[in-house]
Structures are given as C-alpha cells and as structure tokens.
C-alpha cells in the first residue's frame, strides 16, 4: 500500500490520555475486576494520525472506547482541548460527540439496515438543530467527499459493497465536522484493493479538513501507510511510541520487533529473511 500520511500536524496537544487505568467488572460476584489498561499515556496533536498497534487482546479497542467515553476510567484522566472528558455526564458526552467521532470495523453491522443512507446521514444533523434543507445539502456534499453517487442517499445499506458501506460510515462520522475520529480497525473487514482505496480516502479527508485520527489496527502495513506516529500496545500498556517510519523500520522494544517479524510478507525472499531474523531474536533471548 502506497498511501502516505499528510504533512506535519499542527503543534500542540489536542487529546491527552494521562495514566489511564480501565477495569472491567468481574463476571462472577467473588471474582476480581479485570484490568485491561494499566496506566496508559498518549497524546494526539491536531491533524495528526496516531496508529495504535498490538496483538489481539492488548487493549487497543479499550483505549479507543475510553476516549469515546464507552469504557470506565478507574484512574488517570483523558483531556480534550485542555478539558477533562473522562468523567462526563451522558449529556455532556453527547455535546462532545460533534467533535469526537468513531468509525467501527464492521460496515455490515454499524449502519442501521432499515434506514436509507440519506436518513443515516441527515439524522445527526437534524438532531443537532440543522434545518432539513441544510442537512440535505450537507449530505450531498458528504456523499461527494467519500466518492459515492448522489443517488446513494435513496438506497439502503444492503445495496452497497463493504467498501461503499465503510464510505457511508465515514461520511456519517464527518457529518458534524469532528476534530478527532477514533478509527477501530476500519479496513480489516475489506479486501486488499478496497482497503487501499479507503485508506487513501482517510488521508485525503485529513488533508482537506485537518481532522486527527486515533487509528487502531493490528495490521502493520496499514499503520505504516496512514500514521504520523505509532504507539505499540502489549498487555494493556504502551511499550513503544515514536515516528511511524522509525518504529516500523527500527523498533526499539523486543515486543515491537516480534510484532514486525510476525507481520505477513508476500515476497518469499523477505519471508526467508524474516525467518532468519526471528531465529536470531530467539537466540539472543528476546522471545
């Protein structure tokens, strides 16, 4: 994939995750709560893409959910534009939803199957007080931005491919001009060529609007092509952060190195090289 992230983001922190602990309630009454995040810290600047990578179960989605106010923050805090947002009431959270949005992994379940694309996109605008005429005008603009035809507004989600549905989900996230979008594995349900086109769309949108992304993925080739910086998670902790090219080409942490070496590579010569590197890592005790 050849997509490259936009030029340097604006300096200054927009989102500040500071020592965040998330615990999920125990399933049984006598069981201990499960600590999914152990004091995680991370910042995102305006217009920046921070890629969040790590193995399954490392806590990536939990961190995204904490930013969205969907996972309980037991310790630490999350600040957005200088304001603590980790302990907001439901009403305050709704008010913030214009600025912080989400695109989920599965475009087959994240869109209401009974609503037309036009209704899916106008609903958040009407709820926030936009007039119907202005909302419909905005929807025409959004469909153009995500490269869907204007008549898409009259159709149901089931009439679209996975990639097109993900474009609808992106348009919905953009409705109210957010400053930050949490993208939770937004291309993993798509085939490779569709992935590349949807990733290009994310980058184009960022160039045009200056939106920032927290881009959650287990796929290192994806993270390399869209991120300015990368944070690597392991066991509920961030074990390495840095510029995307530095982390992906010369990782410092042994876990990040293992993650890079475990990533699939199509070229047989590179596969042999990787096997050799893995053997070397084992022999120096990093595995």
Ligand X SMILES: Nc1ncnc2c1ncn2[C@@H]1O[C@H](COP(=O)(O)OP(=O)(O)OP(=O)(O)O)[C@@H](O)[C@H]1O
Residues at the contact surface with ligand X, assessed by CB under 6 A: 24, 34, 36, 54, 56-62, 218
- Closest approach of ligand X to the CB of residue 153, in Å: 32
Q: How far is the CB of 44 from ligand X (least distance, A)?
A: 18
Question: Which is closer to ligand X, CB of 60 or CB of 179?
Answer: 60
Residue 124 CB partners (closer than 8 Å, separation 6+): 172, 175, 176
Residue environment code for 115-134, b if the CB has 16+ CB neighbours within 10 A, otherwise e: ebbbebbbebbeeeebeeee
In the complex with ligand X, which residue's Cβ is closer, 173 or 238? Answer: 238
The residue among 37 and 153 lying less far from ligand X, judged by its C-beta, is: 37
The residue among 209, 180, 244, 206 whose CA lies nearest residue 13 is 180
State in angstroms the smallest separation of the CB of 263 from ligand X.
14
CB atoms near residue 251 (< 10 Å): 20
What are the Cα distances from residue 173, in Å, to 47, 147, 154, 219, 266? 16, 15, 19, 22, 33
CA count, 13 A, side-chain hemisphere, 241:
14
> CB of residue 101 vs ligand X: minimum separation in angstroms?
18
Judged on CB neighbours under 10 Å (0-12, 13-18, 19+), 275 is exposed
**In the complex, least distance from residue 195 CB atom to ligand X, rounded to whole angstroms:** 16
**Between residues 60 and 138, which has the closer beta carbon with respect to ligand X?**
60
Whichever of 160 and 240 has its CB closer to ligand X, that residue is 240
Q: Which is nearer to ligand X, 6 or 241 (CB)?
A: 241
Buried-exposed string 170-200: b where 16+ CB fall within 10 A, e elsewhere: bbbbbbbebbbbbbbbbbebbeeebbbebbb
Q: How far is the CB of 126 from ligand X (least distance, A)?
A: 32
């Amino acid at each position: 994939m050849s997509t490259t992230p936009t030029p340097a983001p604006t300096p200054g922190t927009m989102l500040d995750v500071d020592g965040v602990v998330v615990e999920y309630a125990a399933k049984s009454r006598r069981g201990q709560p499960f600590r999914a995040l152990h004091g995680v810290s991370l910042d995102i600047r305006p217009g920046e893409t921070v890629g969040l990578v790590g193995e399954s179960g490392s806590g990536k989605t939990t961190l995204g959910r904490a930013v969205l106010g969907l996972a309980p923050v037991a310790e630490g805090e999350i600040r957005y534009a200088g304001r603590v947002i980790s302990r907001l009431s439901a009403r305050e959270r709704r008010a913030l939803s214009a600025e912080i949005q989400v695109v989920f992994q599965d475009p087959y379940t994240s869109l209401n199957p009974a609503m037309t694309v036009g209704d899916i996109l106008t609903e958040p605008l009407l709820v926030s007080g936009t007039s119907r005429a202005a909302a419909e005008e905005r929807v025409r603009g959004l469909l153009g931005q995500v490269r869907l035809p204007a008549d898409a507004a009259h159709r149901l989600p089931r009439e679209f491919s996975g990639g097109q549905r993900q474009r609808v989900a992106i348009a919905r996230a953009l409705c109210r001009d957010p400053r930050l979008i949490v993208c939770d594995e937004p291309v993993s349900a798509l085939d490779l060529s569709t992935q590349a086109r949807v990733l290009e769309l994310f980058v184009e949108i960022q160039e045009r609007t200056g939106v920032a992304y927290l881009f959650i993925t287990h796929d290192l080739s994806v993270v390399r092509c869209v991120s300015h910086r990368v944070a690597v998670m392991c066991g509920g902790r961030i074990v390495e952060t840095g510029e995307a090219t530095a982390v992906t080409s010369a990782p410092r942490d042994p876990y990040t190195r293992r993650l890079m070496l475990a990533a699939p590579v199509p070229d047989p010569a590179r596969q042999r090289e990787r096997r050799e590197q893995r053997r070397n890592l084992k022999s120096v005790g990093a595995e």
